Chain A
Amino acid sequence: MNERVGKMTKKEKAKKEKAKKAEKIEEKKENASKAEKKVQEKGEQKEKKLKKKLTEHTSFKNLEKKKTKKRQPVWVKKFTLEYEEGLNRLQIELLKWQKHVIANDERVLMLFEGRDAAGKGGTIKRVIEHMNPRGARVVALLKPSDRERTQWYFQRYIQQLPSGGEIVLFDRSWYNRAMVEPTMGFCTDEENKRFLKDTPMLEAMLVKNGIILFKFFFSVSKEEQLRRFDSRETDPLKQYKISPVDREAQERWDDYTIRKFVMLNETNRTITPWTIIRSDNKKKARLNCIKYILSKVEYTDKVSEEELQVDPEIVVSGIDEIRFMEDHLMTAGAELPG
């Protein structure tokens, strides 16, 4: 009996141990799922936080609204309010200008160039946001097709030039052949050199034919570019902007700088000048870019010159950028603008 009891006890012990093990496994599983849940919750919170981001213009629009049972106050930066107010005023001016462009059959072409994540797309979006879509369009061409590759390099861009009454914004342009293509090895040295020689002549033809041409180069610092790449990876709303060559843009930063210098040097002309927009602060870059555009065109009921005065820290002429880069390109340790 005792023996039996003893045997039973052994069995029981084994059972107990088995049960304990199972319990531990269960506990581990539970902990893992709890941790997973936590991560998920955190992610959701992050997503929720992103969703809560106020849409542009919201804070300014609601500035004068009073507290009611259905309304609650939200804290925003003063600069955000200033920005939204300024943007609103400038967008009204852009619309007045567009009316003039349409009425006079003018043709406007704006080229937006710059490194990845420099803020070109965001500025284009604000320029075009409230314009009449019938007279304004954005051109962002994909890499050339096999058929296009057999054509004259400028051909596919020429097809997109503005007709009378149109404002066309190029989100990257023929200048791909000046920076991205040679840096990434997508064109030969000969093709790059040919391009730099031909472009001033082509642009002079466009301007002499009556096209109003703006050439913007958005200049971002290396640190800010990295910050924006990181943000693209974490922000679900910016995922579409991620490109496999993003990291290469950082690794080949200095190559791009030299290409930029050569490009400015060869293609900055009095009648087709470059305008550099310092874009580490996106909002300031957008406002100043729009101010610059408006300050250079004529239209009825235009605001005063003072209101369109650009910040010289943000807007730099192509020739001044060339001079600055020329003076510092060979200086060891000198930080050149991006």
Chain B
Amino acid sequence: MPIKVMIKRKWQVENPEELYPLVAELRAAAKEQPGFISGETLRSLDDPEDFLVISIWETAEDWKKWIQNKKRRDLQGKVDSMIGERTFYEMFETVSME
């Protein structure tokens, strides 16, 4: 069953022009990974600096492999340094409410 990963980010940066390409590179690399289904970025209406990325993967294992990928870790590290905090992830699965 596909899993959904919620990635929360605070975009309070002094130089966004340096941050955008890094995030774009991160997304492009994710798309190439086995098990990647889709990704969507949302901005908070209450706080325009708060962003939420919903990343959908075929299995939790696929996501875990990607999270441990060296290239991803390096890129993520650069993004985190610019944002000033680590990125928080939460994994969710769909449940039937019927």
Bound together, the chains give a CA A268 to CA B88 distance in angstroms of: 11
- How does the 8 Å CB contact mask read for B56-89 relative to A, with 1 for contact and 0 for none? 0000000000000000000001001101111000
Q: Is A270 an interface residue (CB 8 A)?
A: yes
The answer to whether A268 and B81 touch across the interface, beta carbons within 8 angstroms, is no
- How does the 8 Å CB contact mask read for A264-298 relative to B, with 1 for contact and 0 for none? 01001111010000000000000000000000000
Bound together, the chains give a CA A268 to CA B10 distance in angstroms of: 12
User: Quick one: given A270-B12, A271-B10, A271-B12, are A323 and B85 in contact (CB under 8 Å)?
Assistant: no
Nearest-neighbor residue (CB-CB) of A266 within chain B: B86
The answer to whether A270 and B86 touch across the interface, beta carbons within 8 angstroms, is no
The answer to whether B10 and A269 touch across the interface, beta carbons within 8 angstroms, is yes
Closest chain-B Cβ to A323's Cβ sits at a distance in Å of 5
Closest chain-A Cβ to B22's Cβ sits at a distance in Å of 14
Closest chain-B Cβ to A48's Cβ sits at a distance in Å of 50
User: Quick one: given A268-B86, A269-B85, are A323 and B80 in contact (CB under 8 Å)?
Assistant: yes
The answer to whether B81 and A320 touch across the interface, beta carbons within 8 angstroms, is yes
Bound together, the chains give a CA A319 to CA B83 distance in angstroms of: 9
Q: Is A336 an interface residue (CB 8 A)?
A: no
Residues of A within 8 A of B10 (CB): 269-271
Select the residue from B77, B80, B81, B85 with max chain A CB neighbours within 10 A.
B85
Closest chain-A Cβ to B87's Cβ sits at a distance in Å of 10
The answer to whether B80 and A319 touch across the interface, beta carbons within 8 angstroms, is yes
The answer to whether B84 and A317 touch across the interface, beta carbons within 8 angstroms, is yes
Q: Which of A310-338 contact B (CB under 8 A)?
A: 317-320, 322-323
Bound together, the chains give a CA A24 to CA B23 distance in angstroms of: 89
Bound together, the chains give a CA A40 to CA B77 distance in angstroms of: 59
Q: Is the interface of B mostly helix, strand, loop or mixed?
A: mixed
Closest chain-B Cβ to A53's Cβ sits at a distance in Å of 41
Residues of B within 8 A of A269 (CB): 10, 84-85
Bound together, the chains give a CA A323 to CA B87 distance in angstroms of: 12
Bound together, the chains give a CA A273 to CA B12 distance in angstroms of: 12
Nearest-neighbor residue (CB-CB) of A323 within chain B: B77
Bound together, the chains give a CA A212 to CA B77 distance in angstroms of: 27
- How does the 8 Å CB contact mask read for A90-115 relative to B, with 1 for contact and 0 for none? 00000000000000000000000000
Nearest-neighbor residue (CB-CB) of A272 within chain B: B85
The answer to whether B85 and A268 touch across the interface, beta carbons within 8 angstroms, is yes
Bound together, the chains give a CA A271 to CA B81 distance in angstroms of: 13
Bound together, the chains give a CA A317 to CA B14 distance in angstroms of: 15
The answer to whether A322 and B12 touch across the interface, beta carbons within 8 angstroms, is no
Nearest-neighbor residue (CB-CB) of B11 within chain A: A270
- How does the 8 Å CB contact mask read for B2-29 relative to A, with 1 for contact and 0 for none? 0000000010100000000000000000
Bound together, the chains give a CA A75 to CA B80 distance in angstroms of: 48
Select the residue from A265, A270, A271 with max chain B CB neighbours within 10 A.
A270
- How does the 8 Å CB contact mask read for B36-56 relative to A, with 1 for contact and 0 for none? 000000000000000000000
The answer to whether B84 and A270 touch across the interface, beta carbons within 8 angstroms, is yes
Bound together, the chains give a CA A270 to CA B47 distance in angstroms of: 14
Residues of A within 8 A of B12 (CB): 270-271
Closest chain-B Cβ to A295's Cβ sits at a distance in Å of 13
| Residues of chain B having any CB pair with chain A under 8 Å | 10, 12, 77, 80-81, 83-86
Given contacts A319-B84, A323-B77, 12 further A-B contacts (CB under 8 A): A268-B85, A269-B84, A270-B10, A270-B84, A270-B85, A271-B10, A271-B12, A273-B85, A317-B84, A318-B84, A322-B80, A322-B86
